[in-house]
Amino acid sequence: MDKITTSIITIGDELLIGQTIDTNSAWIAQQLNAIGIWVHRRVAIGDIKEDILEALARESAVSDIVLVTGGLGPTADDITKPTLCEYFNTSLVQDEGALENVLHIFESRGLPILQRNLDQSMVPASATVIQNKRGTAPGMWFEKDGKIYVSMPGVPHEMQGIMEDYVLPQLAAHFDTPAVIHQTLVTSGMGESFIAERLVAFETKLPPHVKLAYLPSYSLLKLRLTSFGKDKVSVAAEISILFHELKELLADILVTDHDNTMGQVLGQLLREKGKTVATAESCTGGLIASWITAVPGSSAYFKGGAVTYSNDMKVKMLGVKEETLQAHGAVSEAVVREMVTGALSFLGSDYAIAVSGIMGPDGGTPEKPVGTVWVAVASKDRVNTIKYQLRYDRERNTQMTGVYAMNELRKLIQE
Amino acid sequence: MDKITTSIITIGDELLIGQTIDTNSAWIAQQLNAIGIWVHRRVAIGDIKEDILEALARESAVSDIVLVTGGLGPTADDITKPTLCEYFNTSLVQDEGALENVLHIFESRGLPILQRNLDQSMVPASATVIQNKRGTAPGMWFEKDGKIYVSMPGVPHEMQGIMEDYVLPQLAAHFDTPAVIHQTLVTSGMGESFIAERLVAFETKLPPHVKLAYLPSYSLLKLRLTSFGKDKVSVAAEISILFHELKELLADILVTDHDNTMGQVLGQLLREKGKTVATAESCTGGLIASWITAVPGSSAYFKGGAVTYSNDMKVKMLGVKEETLQAHGAVSEAVVREMVTGALSFLGSDYAIAVSGIMGPDGGTPEKPVGTVWVAVASKDRVNTIKYQLRYDRERNTQMTGVYAMNELRKLIQE
Residues A301, B58: Cα–Cα separation, whole Å: 53
Q: Which strands form A220-229's sheet, in the order they lie side by side?
A: A210-217, A220-229, A179-188, A254-256
The answer to whether the Cβ–Cβ distance between A286 and B306 falls below 8 Å is no
B70 — alpha (psi -120 to 50), left (phi > 0) or beta?
left
The answer to whether the Cβ–Cβ distance between B17 and A39 falls below 8 Å is yes
Which residue, among A359, A379, A408, A373, has the nearest Cα to A278 in the 3D structure? A379
Rounded to a whole number, what is the distance in Å from the CA of B65 to chain A's nearest CA? 14
Which residue of chain A has the CA closest to B30? A18
Q: Which strands form A372-379's sheet, in the order they lie side by side?
A: A382-389, A372-379, A351-357, A277-281, A302-307, B302-307, B277-281, B351-357, B372-379, B382-389
For chain B, helix (H) and strand (E) counts, in that order, are 17, 17
Q: Which pairing describes strands B179-188 and B254-256: parallel, antiparallel, or unpaired?
A: antiparallel
Residues A99, B284: Cα–Cα separation, whole Å: 36
Could you tell me which residues come within 8 angstroms of residue B409 by beta carbon, excluding any fewer than 6 positions away? Answer: B266, B277, B351, B353, B377
In this complex, the residue of B41, B75, B226 whose CB is nearest that of residue A214 is B75
Residue B279: list chain A partners with CB under 8 A: 286, 307
Which residue of chain A has the CA closest to B17? A29
ipTM: 0.82
Q: Which fold has domain B179-256?
A: Alpha-Beta Plaits (3.30.70)
Rounded to a whole number, what is the distance in Å from the CA of B414 to chain A's nearest CA? 25
Residue B393: list chain A partners with CB under 8 A: 157
| Domain range annotation of chain A | 4-174, 179-256, 262-414
* Residue from A35, A210, A293, A350 whose CB has the most chain B CBs within 10 Å, to mutate: A293
In this complex, the residue of B192, B222, B347 whose CB is nearest that of residue A74 is B192
Residue A211: list chain B partners with CB under 8 A: 13, 77
Rounded to a whole number, what is the distance in Å from the CA of A289 to chain B's nearest CA? 5
Q: Which of residues 296-325 of B touch A (CB under 8 A)?
A: 296-299, 302-310, 312-313, 316-317
Instruction: Establish, for the pair of chains A and B, how many residue pairs have beta carbons separated by less than 8 Å.
Output: 302
Q: Which of residues 256-285 of B touch A (CB under 8 A)?
A: 259, 279, 281, 284-285
What is the C-alpha R_g of chain B? Answer: 26
Residue B348: list chain A partners with CB under 8 A: 312
B39 in contact with A at a CB cutoff of 8 Å? yes
The answer to whether the Cβ–Cβ distance between A285 and B292 falls below 8 Å is yes
Taking the mean position of all CA atoms in its chain, how far away is CA B260?
Answer: 10
Q: Which of residues 41-70 of B touch A (CB under 8 A)?
A: 41-46, 51
Residues A320, A314: Cα–Cα separation, whole Å: 6
- Residue by residue, pLDDT tens for chain B (415 residues) are 478 999 999 998 878 887 778 889 989 998 898 788 989 999 999 989 999 999 999 999 999 999 999 988 877 677 899 999 999 999 999 999 999 999 998 888 788 888 888 999 999 999 999 999 888 999 999 999 999 999 999 988 899 999 999 999 999 999 988 888 889 999 998 888 889 889 999 999 999 889 888 777 767 888 989 898 888 899 999 999 999 999 999 999 999 999 899 999 999 999 999 999 999 999 999 999 999 999 999 999 999 999 999 999 999 999 999 999 999 999 999 999 999 999 999 999 999 999 999 999 988 999 999 999 999 999 999 999 999 999 888 988 999 999 999 999 999 999 8
User: Do the Cβ atoms of B279 and B293 come closer than 8 Å?
Assistant: no
User: Do the Cβ atoms of B247 and A254 come closer than 8 Å?
Assistant: no
In this complex, the residue of B22, B28, B293 whose CB is nearest that of residue A22 is B22
Rounded to a whole number, what is the distance in Å from the CA of B191 to chain A's nearest CA? 10
Write down the CATH superfamily of domain A262-414: CinA-like (3.90.950.20)
Which residue of chain B has the CA closest to A55? B41
Residue A309: list chain B partners with CB under 8 A: 293, 298-299, 302-305
**Residue A61 pLDDT level (bands cut at 50, 70, 90):** very high
Residue B181: list chain A partners with CB under 8 A: none
* Residue from A290, A292, A370 whose CB has the most chain B CBs within 10 Å, to mutate: A290
User: Do the Cβ atoms of A355 and A375 come closer than 8 Å?
Assistant: yes
**Which pLDDT score is estimated for A218?**
67
The answer to whether the Cβ–Cβ distance between B39 and A28 falls below 8 Å is no
**Which pLDDT score is estimated for A129?**
97
- Cis before A361 (ω within 30): yes
Residue B277: list chain A partners with CB under 8 A: none
Q: Which fold has domain B4-174?
A: Molybdenum Cofactor Biosythetic Enzyme; Chain A (3.40.980)
* Residue from B43, B75, B227, B317 whose CB has the most chain A CBs within 10 Å, to mutate: B75
**Do the domains at B4-174 and B262-414 have one common CATH topology?**
no
Residue A11 pLDDT greater than 60, yes or no: yes
Rounded to a whole number, what is the distance in Å from the CA of A290 to chain B's nearest CA? 5
**Which pLDDT score is estimated for A248?**
97
Residue A304: list chain B partners with CB under 8 A: 306-310, 313, 317
